[in-house]
Amino acid sequence: MISQASPLANYLSNRTALDEAIHRVLSAGRYILGEETAAFERQFADYIGVPYAVSVGNGTEALHLALRALGIGPGDEVITVSHTAVATVAAVEMSGATPVLVDIRPEFYTMDPALLERARSARTKAIVPVHLYGQSCDLEQITSFAKTHDLFVVEDCAQSHGALYREHRTGTWGHAAAFSFYPTKNLGALGDGGAITTRDPCLYEELRALRQYGWDDSRISQCPGWNSRLDELQAAVLRVKLVRLEENNERRIQIARTYDRLLSGVSELILPSLIPGTTHVYHQYVVRCADPLVRNRLMAHLSGRGIQTAVHYPVPVHLQPAYVHRFPGSQVLPVTEEVCAKILSLPLFPELTDEEIGRVATSVASFFGRRV
Ligand SMILES: *Cc1c(COP(=O)(O)O)cnc(C)c1O
């Protein structure tokens, strides 16, 4: 059986260091917001290339608190995409703002900057671009549109740890950026976790208060806050894993190049495309079939050969029961609605062996009556 993702394989490949880190925390006796969390925040900010990182409970909270810290709330509109994890849209609603969903570029699966102008209104306060599957959005166009119209940009980097746009990492371009450390992400904890990166010292202080009851340094609440903290155990785990993030991203890229090469003759499939000037870190390797029936049959064919695949994501957010009645009927997103029925995420995690990658590619090709 070849899994689509494997946090267990990642634990096993770092087992000694992770066990040691966990025991260090258990014995130190401080479990919330101690030295591990502070050290992780410094190291993560350094890695991304910003002065500040604030760790929080998960990626959804990272987005929610970033929006709140920017003063976004009821009556405001935030433009994002529907082709994303529900978490992106849920976080906008947690802030009290109204999500306005735009369509994607079919070749890259990310926000189409050409649609921002039509989505903008007098209430628009922010844009949340999602760097889906590990590839940066077209940040140049999005940030320049935001600048022209005085909007905030909060990047959703839950799938793009380490990805570059031009020479800077995702997470350095917006006013703030939200990361998730859900176990299967490129940088994954052994449980939930998240962080916000920013260059703005005021936003940094605001976020540190918001994540913990609005407390100041004397533990007095200066503003209403939440409880959203990364615990010491997860921070210690993430410090171990951060050291190997570059190496693991390199391996993901290498696996993607191998899939590209082995599947290049399967003309029935659309393989991932790169936005010029970006480094894709392949959180997912997503292929697209000509029609939904073929996609479903390919998925079953692979499953029958012990190969697990997944669809990210099968139902666009605006069509899910929780949202379908609340977004205006005019919100038709043709590209989003079309691609979600045709895409398939192949197995991809750093510990996949070359033999397994070959087996996946051979099985995909055999479905179309081809050989690799
Ligand atoms: C995983 C993910 C999130 C949410 O992160 P959690 O840590 O699960 O709350 C948000 N946006 C995207 C694009 C994600 O993939």
Please name the amino acid found at residue 327. F
Whether residue 28 is predicted with pLDDT greater than 60 in this model: the reply is yes
Do the domain assignments include residue 372? no
Q: Tell me if 363 is assigned to some domain.
A: yes
Q: Which domain holds residue 47?
A: 8-243
pLDDT digits 0-9 by tens, 298-339: 999 999 999 999 999 999 999 999 998 887 655 689 999 999
Residue 106 shares a structural domain with residue 123:
yes
Q: Quick: pLDDT tens for 60-100.
A: 999 999 999 999 999 999 999 999 999 999 999 999 999 99
Q: State whether 154 and 263 are in the same domain.
A: no
Tell me: do 168 and 261 sit in the same domain: no
Q: What is the mean pLDDT of the chain?
A: 96
Are 146 and 204 part of one and the same domain? Answer: yes
Percent residues over pLDDT 90 in the chain? 96
Nearest CA to ligand 1 atom 1: 158
Same domain, 21 and 137: yes
Ligand 1 pocket, residues with Cβ under 6 angstroms:
58-60, 84-85, 87-88, 130, 156, 158-159, 180, 182, 192, 194
Same domain, 222 and 257: no
Return the ligand 1 atom nearest residue 180 CA.
7
Question: Does residue 2 lie in a domain region?
Answer: no
Q: Residue 347 belongs to a domain with what CATH number?
A: 3.90.1150.10
Nearest ligand 1 atom to the CA of 60 is: 9
Q: How far apart are CA 84 and CA 86, in angstroms?
A: 6
Tell me whether strands 124-127 and 164-165 are parallel, antiparallel or unpaired: unpaired
Do 195 and 306 lie in one domain? The reply is: no
For a mutational test of ligand 1's pocket, the pick from 156, 160, 192, 336, i.e. the residue with the most ligand atoms closer than 8 A to its C-beta, is 156
Tell me the three-class secondary structure of the chain, residue by residue: CECCCCHHHHHHHCHHHHHHHHHHHHHHCCCECCHHHHHHHHHHHHHHCCCEEEEECCHHHHHHHHHHHCCCCCCCEEEEECCCCHHHHHHHHHCCCEEEEECECCCCCCECHHHHHHHCCCCEEEECCECHHHCCCCHHHHHHHHHHCCCEEEEECCCCCCCEECCEECCCCCCEEEEECCCCCCCCCCCCCEEEEECCHHHHHHHHHHCECCECCCCCECCCCCECCCEHHHHHHHHHHHHCHHHHHHHHHHHHHHHHHHHCCCCCCECCCCCCCEECCCCCEEEECCCHHHHHHHHHHHHHCCECCECCCCCCHHHCHHHHCCCCCCCCCHHHHHHCCCEEEECCCCCCCHHHHHHHHHHHHHHCCCCC
Residues 105 and 220 in one domain: yes
Say whether both 188 and 318 belong to one domain. no
- My answer on whether 319 and 270 are in the same domain is yes
Among 243, 267, 291, identify where a domain stops.
243
Closest ligand 1 atom, residue 62 Cα: 9
Compute the distance from residue 59 Cα to the ligand 1 centre, in Å. 5
Specify the number of domains making up the chain: 2
The tens digit of pLDDT for each residue in 177-200 reads: 999 999 999 999 999 999 999 999
Ligand 1 mutation pick, 88, 181, 185, max ligand atoms within 8 A of CB: 88
- Of 192, 213, 243, the residue at which a domain comes to its end is 243
266 CA from centroid of ligand 1 (Å): 32
285 plus 239 within the same structural domain: no
Domain boundary among the residues 243, 278, 297 is at 243
- Report the separation in Å between the CA atom of 174 and the middle of ligand 1, taken as the mean of its atom positions: 17
Regarding whether 325 and 277 lie in a shared domain, the answer is yes
